[in-house]
Structure 1
Amino acid sequence: MIAPQRFAGTTAMITGGVQGIGRAVAERLRAESAEVVLVDRSEAVHEVAAELGAHGVVADLEEFSGATAAAERAVQLVGRIDVLINNVGGTIWAKPYEHYAEDEVRAEVQRSLFPTLWCCRAVLPHMLDRGSGTIVNVSSVATRGVNRVPYGAAKGGVNALTTSLAMEVAERGIRVVATATGGTEAPPRRIPRGPGPDGDRERGWFQQVVDQTTDSSLMKRYGTLAEQAGAIAFLASAEASYVTGTVLPVAGGDLG
């Protein structure tokens, strides 16, 4: 249920905001009165930001320089960052680990771990200066899943980052939490993550991921973007003020 004033007076920086969960969270926070800065490496971020009445920033968050520039620009635009939602990431390939090339392993980790590492590092000084702030990392239950070992390893790193950073900064006014998302139904991506399955063998590997994701869910279904956004919005809000260092599975009962 939308709480129209829940984020009144709150600023939020959301990464990967052009599509999928990132956009759904942005829509939810805007509906609940947050001032939002969307960050994405696609120029489409400006179009989406205009549609939502938000601000758009283009940055490559796989590099620390990009994360730092994005944080500084967000502060320029809205004055401060109360909430950081690290949403950038996602499986590029789906195949058994022995079929990954070295550069593919590096690309998966670069995509799904480093943007969160860098953005936490870039935004944290701003929050510590003010003695308050909330970081919500978007992880995955794919830490226990088939045909996505490098991605699962990257998201395991996000989980460790969440818990260890929370321990460091809790007494300094900062909360750090995460959701572990399960399979999520979403419209076709306007910007593909990767080349997609090529041939029957790769399509079979991808179907194994789909089947395992559904089988691992007690509800035997994929979630919705609204269900993911609702959990993230709760963790980002003052209603979760006594929650930190926690990774919340949002996967129909799959604990990852």
Structure 2
Amino acid sequence: MSGADTTSNLTKAAGLPESFHAGRFAGKVVMVTGAAQGIGWSVARRIAAEGGDLVLVDRAPLLHEVAEGLRAHSAHALSVTADLETYEGALAAVAAAKDEFGRIDVLINNVGGTIWAKPYEHYTPQEIQKEIQRSLFPTLWMCRAAFEMMITAGGGTIVNVSSVATRGMNRVPYAAAKGGVKAITSALAMEGAPHGIRVVATAPGGTEAPERQVKRGPAPQGEQEQAWYQAIVDQTVDSTLLKRYGTLDEQSAPIVFLASDEASYITGATLAVAGGDLG
């Protein structure tokens, strides 16, 4: 099967636009975390369609079905289930990539997401810790686990996924975690530059996506919790200039651009992808 045919089949299978760049990631090994659903799912399909070899990481077994679907359309996709909230899980993911491909050229850190939605005074200490553990540590651990390999290889690219919710309603612990992701990006870019390593990030806004098959947390219960969640939705839309949520394609395309060689003169920056909301 030709490269053009492979790209066309991947496009049709994933419902992606025809306008992305065939061959842009040819010869590249790209690791995508949180790849079983949502933005990570969309990024993985774009990378596959653009010719990259993939290492997909998630703690949900659903990930293996995603990889199998890509392999059915001639993509080279390794799936690794790991808990990236632990350093041991991050090390295991990197080791699997090294065993399969010998290196990681691009690391896309996508794991994270709000678990609860409520005013800060209603969070328990345990819930605060879980939010930080969920949305900060996977990026912190993965950067640590992959950085030495990239230094040894003489270069690489890390794309982190932060959020414009660093200024938002009813998500203070999540905002703190994603603010930390932005700080990792700017600080690690300074350390990575002498080694030929770029570190960049996007900050997504509200994003429309199919209902998650694996939930991040409990659905809002009762009128009060539903009202707190609705306040997030209303504030998210009101804060955008375009007055709407984005799509998965609108989030994954900037991530894939920043991961590519086309963005070779961009490092240390976080790009808001939120319809004009800068966070």
State the TM bucket, normalised to the shorter chain.
over 0.9
What letter is aligned with 1:254? Answer: D
Q: Partners in 1 of 2:110 and 2:100 — Cα distance?
A: 20
Residue 42 of structure 1 and its aligned partner are, at CA, apart by 1.2
Is 1:2 the counterpart of 2:20? The answer is yes
Q: Partners in 2 of 1:230 and 1:120 — Cα distance?
A: 22
Structure 2 counterparts to residues 88-237 of structure 1, below 5 A: 88-237=111-260
Q: 2:65 maps to which residue?
A: 47
Aligned counterpart in structure 2 of residue 16 of structure 1, from 28, 34, 37: 34
Residue 139 of structure 1 and its aligned partner are, at CA, apart by 0.5
- Give the alignment's TM-score, normalised by structure 1: 0.99
Please state whether the residue corresponding to 1:135 is helix, strand or coil: strand
Residue 46 of structure 1 and its aligned partner are, at CA, apart by 1.1
Q: Partners in 2 of 1:30 and 1:78 — Cα distance?
A: 15
Residue 103 of structure 1 and its aligned partner are, at CA, apart by 0.3
Higher mean alpha-carbon deviation, 52-61 vs 113-122, is at 52-61
What letter is aligned with 1:62? Answer: E
Please state whether the residue corresponding to 1:120 is helix, strand or coil: helix
Residue 74 of structure 1 and its aligned partner are, at CA, apart by 1.1
What letter is aligned with 1:247? Answer: T
RMSD of the alignment, in Å?
Answer: 0.5
Q: Partners in 2 of 1:97 and 1:233 — Cα distance?
A: 34
Q: Tell me, which stretches of 5 or more residues in structure 2 are unaligned?
A: 1-18, 72-76
Q: Tell me, which stretches of 5 or more residues in structure 1 are unaligned?
A: none
Q: 2:105 maps to which residue?
A: 82
Q: Partners in 2 of 1:80 and 1:172 — Cα distance?
A: 15
Residue 77 of structure 1 and its aligned partner are, at CA, apart by 1.4
Q: Partners in 1 of 2:53 and 2:249 — Cα distance?
A: 19
What letter is aligned with 1:35? Answer: D
Please state whether the residue corresponding to 1:107 is helix, strand or coil: helix
Residue 43 of structure 1 and its aligned partner are, at CA, apart by 1.4
Q: 2:264 maps to which residue?
A: 241
Deviation by residue 1:165-224 (Cα, 9 ceiling, x = unmatched) = 001111210000000000000000000000110101000000000000000000000000
Q: Partners in 1 of 2:130 and 2:70 — Cα distance?
A: 31
Please state whether the residue corresponding to 2:177 is helix, strand or coil: helix
Aligned counterpart in structure 1 of residue 51 of structure 2, from 30, 33, 36: 33
Count of paired positions: 256
Q: Partners in 2 of 1:2 and 1:79 — Cα distance?
A: 27
Residue 164 of structure 1 and its aligned partner are, at CA, apart by 0.2
Residue 227 of structure 1 and its aligned partner are, at CA, apart by 0.6
Q: Partners in 1 of 2:195 and 2:149 — Cα distance?
A: 12
Q: Partners in 1 of 2:252 and 2:100 — Cα distance?
A: 24
Over the matched positions of the two proteins, sequence identity in percent amounts to 64
Q: Partners in 1 of 2:87 and 2:168 — Cα distance?
A: 29
Residue 50 of structure 1 and its aligned partner are, at CA, apart by 0.7
